């Protein structure tokens, strides 16, 4: 059997033979790493294409994808049974020095040079934003090309439209890098855990806020100092709103919840609170109670519907998520068969994100090689209700500033009691005439807690309800 290295026919009849055949034939031919099997059509064997890749964007992620495809070209080709080749790259500024060796003429500022090129089989959208990314992805599907994207904004807003168009075109849409960067959590939920009823997905899915909270916790610095450090180190963007206000995590948990519960969850369904109100004293008190504070994305299925929320939360020090610090991400999943599992890694950055994108490119390419494109469509085949936040039941941490005098505690206890809120723990610290009162409740509906807080705020002895943070045990 003839073997060639990185030379292929431009056309092929891929698909007559499956992946097992590729493996068997490779073994029979005794191929070394990097050598590719060329199969002759005369003998009924299919010939393999070079699979053409068109990149939309060459920023942090695009450059990483190019590097991974170049560095591991032969390994990937051997595993796939066909080589991958970047044919065109769309950027805004074609003349910019990208600090990386690429063939002349690879860059273009004309989207049709990528989207209309017959040699491009897979379009990789790593430009970000909604428009024109959405139009380009739709144009790629219209041309029958598969799409890989890292764009959580696009998916969380237009997921249904994109999946419908992919299905119409019998093309694939892969999006692993859109959530938790290098952690392959989407494949785990869609494939490895497909035999489970997923009960809960809880994630630290924003590296910037995890870095800020870790700095506040480890060094006692305040939010603004930690944010400035995150910006100086290049973790947080110049405008950090999406990260610190929780919107980035909200998009990611919407995507994970949609997959976990087979029901389309959009950004509008997610209750969102950011970390800007977390103070060093909250972190200290949380520690006294045996907790750390993390920004969590939480998706849970209950008999009454799906809960989807992003907010800071007290996490018990012994919980695996409590140990996830710095810019790292982790996703904790509970399935009815598998039980509790956790996946940990880098949620952003050039190469970790590229790892996920290239995994998707290979998956899409494998479907082309085996002629099974368009079979891994949208998994949202149900329409489950989303529970309003007021119906959610959890425990709460509250920090109040109150006058330090007789009868104050009784009034506060009354406000809680009137609304069926039961206290589990209380700490009081006095500074002059004012006391800081810190409490953790038992489980209670959010509506009851809000009613109790409204009553507390009307008490003359309560100077302020300084913070309320949910407790996730
Ligand atoms: P980036 O560094 O800002 O790069 C964006 C690239 O897209 C640039 O090369 C830019 O061209 C090009 N581009 C943007 N708009 C364009 C337009 N209208 N026409 C042509 N080219 C355009 O972005 P990134 O950090 O790589 O992120 C890309 C995507 O990956 C985003 O959806 C992001 O949310 C997602 N993501 C990023 C990370 C991460 O760690 N960075 C992690 C997970 C997911 P020029 O270079 O010429 O300006
Ligand atoms: N800004 C995100 C984070 C990375 O800090 O995790 C891109 O999803």
> 3-state SS of the chain?
CCEECCCCCCCCCCCCCCHHHHHHHHHHHCCCCCCEECCCHHHCCCCCCCEEEEEECCCHHHHHHHHHHHHCHHHHHHHHCCCEEEEEEECCCCCCCCCCCCCCCCEECCHHHHHCCCCCCEEEECCCCCCCHHHHHHHHHHCCCEEEECCHHHHHHHHHHHHHHHHHCCCCEECHHHCCCCCCHHHHHHHHCCCCCEEEEEEECCHHHHHHHHHHHHHCCCHHHHHHHHHHCCCCCCCCHHHHCCHHHHHHHHHHHHHHHCECCCHHHCEECCCCCCCHHHHHHHHHHCEEEEEEEEEEEECCEEEEEEEEEEEECCCHHHHCCCCEEEEEEEECCCEEEEEEEECCCHHHHHHHHHHHHHHHHHHHHCCCCCCCCCCCCECCCECCHHHCEEEEEEEEEEECCCCHHHHHHHHHHHCCCCEEEEEEEEECCEEEEEEEECCEEHHHHHHHHHHHHHCCCEEEEEEEEEECC
- Note the pTM of the prediction, 2 decimals: 0.90
Which residue's CA is the closest to the ligand 2 atom numbered 8? Answer: 348
pLDDT at res. 353: 95
**98 CA closest ligand 1 atom index:** 46
For ligand 2, is residue 248 a contact (CB within 6 Å)? yes
Q: Which atom of ligand 1 is nearest to the CA of 129?
A: 32
Catalytic residues: 252
pLDDT recorded at residue 277? 97
What spacing in Å lies between the alpha carbon of 60 and ligand 1's midpoint?
A: 7
Q: In the prediction, which pLDDT does 375 show?
A: 81
Common-topology check for domains 194-341 and 389-471: no
210 lines ligand 2 (CB under 6 A): no
The pLDDT value given to residue 174:
97
194-341, what's its fold? Dihydrodipicolinate Reductase; domain 2 (3.30.360)
Ligand 1 contact via 290 beta carbon (within 6 Å): no
CA of 181 to the centre of ligand 2 (A): 8
Q: Name residues of the chain where pLDDT drops below 50.
A: 1-20, 33-35, 40-47
Q: Domain 50-181+352-369 is classified in which CATH homologous superfamily? A: NAD(P)-binding Rossmann-like Domain (3.40.50.720)
The pLDDT score that the predictor gives to residue 267 is 92
Ligand nearest to the CA of 353: 1
Q: Where are the domains of the chain?
A: 50-181+352-369, 194-341, 389-471
Q: Does ligand 2 come within 6 angstroms of the Cβ of 307?
A: no
The pick from 61, 68, 111, 237 for probing ligand 1's pocket by mutation, whose C-beta has the most ligand atoms within 8 angstroms, reads 61
| Chain segment 316-336, per-residue pLDDT in tens | 999 999 999 999 999 999 999
Ligand 2 atom with least separation from CA of 152: 8
Residue 123, pLDDT score: 98
The domain 389-471 belongs to what CATH superfamily? ACT domain (3.30.70.260)
């Amino acid at each position: 059997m003839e073997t060639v290295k990185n030379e292929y026919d431009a056309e092929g009849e891929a698909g007559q033979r499956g992946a097992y055949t590729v493996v068997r034939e490779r073994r029979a031919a005794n191929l070394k790493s990097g050598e590719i099997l060329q199969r002759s059509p005369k003998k009924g064997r299919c010939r393999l294409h070079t699979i053409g890749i068109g990149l939309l964007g060459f920023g942090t992620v695009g450059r990483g994808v190019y590097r991974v495809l170049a560095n591991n070209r032969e390994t990937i080709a051997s595993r796939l049974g066909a080589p991958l080749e970047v044919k065109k790259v769309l950027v805004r500024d074609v003349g910019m020095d990208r600090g990386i060796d690429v063939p002349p003429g690879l860059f273009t500022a004309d989207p049709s040079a990528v989207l209309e090129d017959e040699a491009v089989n897979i379009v990789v959208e790593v430009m970000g934003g909604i428009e024109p990314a959405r139009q380009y992805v739709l144009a790629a599907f219209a041309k029958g090309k598969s799409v890989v994207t890292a764009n959580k904004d696009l998916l969380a807003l237009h997921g249904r439209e994109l999946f419908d168009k992919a299905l119409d075109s019998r093309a694939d849409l892969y999006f692993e890098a859109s959530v938790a960067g290098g952690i392959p959590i989407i494949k785990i939920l869609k494939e490895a855990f497909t035999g489970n009823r997923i009960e809960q997905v809880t994630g630290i899915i924003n590296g910037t806020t995890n870095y800020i909270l870790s700095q506040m916790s480890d060094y006692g610095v305040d939010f603004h100092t930690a944010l400035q450090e995150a910006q100086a180190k290049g973790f947080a963007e110049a405008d950090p709103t999406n990260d610190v206000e929780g919107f980035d995590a909200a998009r990611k948990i919407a995507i994970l919840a949609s997959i976990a519960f087979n029901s389309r969850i959009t950004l509008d369904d997610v209750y969102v609170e950011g970390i800007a109100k977390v103070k060093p004293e909250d972190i200290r008190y949380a520690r006294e109670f045996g907790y750390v504070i993390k920004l969590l994305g939480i998706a849970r299925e209950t008999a009454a519907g799906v809960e989807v929320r992003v907010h800071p939360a007290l996490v018990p020090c012994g919980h695996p998520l409590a140990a996830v610090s710095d810019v790292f991400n982790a996703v904790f999943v509970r399935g009815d068969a598998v039980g509790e599992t956790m996946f940990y890694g880098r949620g952003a950055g050039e190469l970790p994100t590229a790892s996920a994108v290239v995994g998707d490119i290979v998956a899409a390419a494998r479907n082309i090689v085996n002629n099974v494109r368009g079979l891994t469509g949208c998994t949202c085949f149900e329409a489950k209700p989303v529970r309003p936040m007021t119906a959610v039941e959890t425990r709460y941490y509250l920090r109040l500033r109150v006058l330090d005098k007789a009868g104050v505690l009784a009034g506060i206890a009354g406000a809680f009691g009137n609304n069926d809120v039961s206290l589990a723990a209380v700490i009081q610290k006095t500074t002059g005439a004012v006391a800081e009162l810190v409490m953790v409740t038992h489980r209670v509906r959010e509506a009851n807690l809000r009613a109790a807080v409204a009553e507390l705020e009307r008490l003359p002895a309560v100077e302020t309800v300084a913070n309320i943070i949910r407790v996730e045990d």
